[in-house]
Structure 1
């Protein structure tokens, strides 16, 4: 866990120098303490020159207005309420077109954070892969409860609460050979080495916060080397 000394603008800047220039699509902060009004600006630089910039809210809209009572303070914008924010896995991510750069500066604007500082468990800067063809129909995403119920002699049960984790299961049955070998098979190698992957089923949509997380591989079946297309099955479970 990394923590700033305070929440001032000067203390909440993250500078990331890449080992070598690379194409970057994704910037993410996992398990942060950013407040509802926080925003994040990302500057991508190459050879000392800023080549692109993105700004995003730390907590984006997740609700269509018709799903909320008109009396709710967040009815118009569809953003998190304070109680929802407090009970949701805190994750910020921004994914977009590939940007070739050698460094990234992340400016966090959350000077009124009640904690008086900013913290996050993991910073992710990476490229992204979206298969040429979508996953096969039948993918499943679920919250997995890992708590337990204890029954006492009197017959009553008491739950031992542990934060649930998300898991996604899907099949890719129409992989092109090039992406099968260079993206999918290499990804499975990293997962087999206890690596992690950031997964988002609907990036850019209103539901992305629900189905995006940092996870580890639990099941990956390798590549089925069919004549025209390759296929695989993958299961990823939330790790942080």
Structure 2
């Protein structure tokens, strides 16, 4: 099984009935089903009794990945995922327990002498410049009709909690990992112009990441079911997906995991017997 993970194809949260512990009237929980992540669900308070969201999928669905995209949860915040067929969650199919939202990115002793980041978490100044998201990859897929996320962040200085998108659905982990040579980088759409006097003027735009990689050595069934159908046909270049290139490196999710869209639909090629391959280009959605 590869470390590459695709999620959101399909995103079962979009078909679900969502309820929440609280919400500002103009920023309802339904915003978690909108790909415009700048329009968040926002709670009315930070008290844990009011900072939860629940999804009823209507029927049992396979869940392998759950993510909250573009949240404002503070360092020290925790969340808990429960899945089951009972909406009261008296009996659960999966309970994550309380886990930290912010992953550790540094081990003690890994930094140069005199350099210290409390708890080894993403620095606040970095977090302020990225699309901060929370990801939970289940050890094994779970089939359940109901999902509940509880968030514990009562001390959040904003006075509210918010998130822009809920992703919940199966995890496609290809049988072969992405090939070496994959790349990730920023694209900057800022416009640079020169005045007649020679001064440089820059219309600053938001930078976004682009992930490029190749999947190869896929058998025909996997290539046409998971790639051709679920990703190319159903998502296309307009649908949103969550791509995690290195599931074994949660300390790098803030850099490498991308909530975005397929920028191009590269055709499947059949270079060898029982072997299909294609290229991917994933553009971050802001």
2:106 matched to 1:52? Answer: no
SS of 2:127's equivalent? Answer: helix
SS of 2:93's equivalent? Answer: strand
Q: In 2, distance between residues paired with 1:151 and 1:69?
A: 42
Give the TM-score of the pair, scaled to structure 1: 0.91
Aligned to 1:40: 79
Q: In 2, distance between residues paired with 1:37 and 1:70?
A: 25
Return the offset for 1:126.
1.3
Match of 2:262 among 206, 217, 223: 217
Aligned to 2:228: 185
SS of 2:280's equivalent? Answer: strand
Aligned to 1:234: 280
Return the offset for 1:115.
0.8
Q: After the TM superposition, which residues 67-216 of structure 1 pair with which residues of structure 2 at under 5 Å, given as runs?
A: 68-74=111-117, 77-96=119-138, 97-186=140-229, 187-192=231-236, 194-205=238-249, 206-216=251-261
| Alpha-carbon spacing, 1:193–1:209, altered in 2? closer, same or farther (3 Å) | closer
How many residue pairs are counted as aligned between the two chains? 239
Q: What is the root-mean-square deviation of aligned Cα atoms in Å?
A: 1.9
Give the TM-score of the pair, scaled to structure 2: 0.78
Between 1 and 2, higher relative CO (CA 8 Å, sep ≥ 6) is seen in 2
SS of 1:207's equivalent? Answer: helix
- The 8 Å contact of residues 188 and 222 in structure 1, kept in 2 or not, is answered as no
Q: In 2, distance between residues paired with 1:57 and 1:68?
A: 22
Structure 1, unmatched stretches of 5+, are none
Structure 2, unmatched stretches of 5+, are 1-39
Return the offset for 1:177.
1.5
Q: In 2, distance between residues paired with 1:11 and 1:126?
A: 24
Aligned to 2:24: none
